[in-house]
Amino acid sequence: MSERNTWIRSLHDLGLAAWFGGSLMGAVGLNGAAKEEGGTDQAKALIASSGWAKWTPVNAAAIGAHLFGGGGLLAVNTHRIAAQKGVAASTTAKTLVTAGALAATAYARILGKKVELASSSDPQDVDKAEQHPIDIDKARRQLGYAQWAVPALTGCLVILNALHGEQQRPEEQLPGMWERARSATPFIP
C-alpha cells in the first residue's frame, strides 16, 4: 500500500523548513541586530532591508520547492484525500494556511521595499519614494506584523504537516477509510 515519494516529500519539507526558519531568523535575528546596530531609524531600516533583500531569492526558491513538493504530494495522495476521513479537512486547512503564508510573505516584501526606498539616500530611490509617498511609521509597523505573520503561519504548516504524517500511518488509514465509507452509507453499522 505504501509507495515511496522521497523526492517530492523532501522538496516539500526542506522548502517549508527554509521558509519557516528563514522568516523566524529574520524577524528575530536580522531585525533585532538592525535595531541594536543601526543607530538612526534610517540606518536600522537600511540594514534590515539589505539582509531581507539577500534572503529573498533563497526564500523564493524555498517557497517554490515547498509548493512543487506539496503539489506532488497532493497528486500522489488523492486517493487518501477522497477515501480517508479527516484527510480532506486537513488538506483544505493546509491549503488555506499556505495561501495565507504566501500572502503575508508577498505583503512583507512589498512593505519592505517601500520602507527601503523611503529610507534610502540613493537619488534614484529618493525619486521613486517621492513619487509614491508613504507614512513610514505606519509602513514599519505593518511590516513588523507581516514579518511575524510569516513564521506564525509557516509554523502552523509544520504542525499540519505533522498531522498529515500521523494520518498516513497504516493504523490510521484503514479506520479512516472505514469511517469515510460508513458516513457515506448510512445503513452500514
- Condensed to tens digits (0 to 9), the pLDDT of residues 140-185 reads 999 999 999 999 999 999 999 999 888 877 766 565 555 655 666 6
- Contact, 80 vs 19, CB < 8 A? no
Q: Is the pLDDT higher at 95 or at 125?
A: 95
Whole-number pLDDT of residue 160: 95
Q: Do 33 and 97 touch, CB atoms closer than 8 A?
A: no
| Reported confidence tier of residue 82, pLDDT bands at 50, 70, 90 | confident
- Given a cut of 90, is residue 126 above it in pLDDT? no
Spell out the residues 6+ positions from residue 20 whose beta carbon is closer than 8 angstroms to its own.
151, 154, 155, 157, 158
Confidence of residue 80 (pLDDT cuts 50, 70, 90): confident
**d(Cα 52, Cα 189) in Å, to the nearest integer?**
57
Residue 169's pLDDT is: 72
Q: How far apart are the first and last CA of the chain?
A: 26
Confidence class of residue 101 from pLDDT cuts 50, 70 and 90?
Answer: very high
Percentage of the chain modeled with pLDDT above 90: 59
| Least confident segment among 12-16, 44-48, 99-103, 184-188 | 184-188
Instruction: State residue 1's pLDDT score.
Output: 43
DSSP letter at 86 equals: T
Across all residues in the chain, what is the average pLDDT?
Answer: 87
Average pLDDT over residues 24-53: 91
Place of cell 509602513: 139
**Helix ranges (DSSP H) in the chain:** 6-25, 31-37, 41-76, 78-83, 87-119, 123-131, 136-167, 170-184
Do 22 and 58 touch, CB atoms closer than 8 A? Answer: yes
Burial of 15 (0-12, 13-18, 19+ CB in 10 A): buried
Is residue 83 very low, low, confident or very high in pLDDT (cuts 50, 70, 90)?
confident
CA distance 59 to 108: 12
Instruction: For residues 50 and 9, give the distance between their C-alpha atoms in angstroms, rounded to a whole number.
Output: 32
pLDDT of residue 185: 64
Q: Is the pLDDT of residue 72 over 90?
A: yes
For residues 113-125, average pLDDT: 77
* Collapsed DSSP state (helix, strand, coil) of residue 28: helix
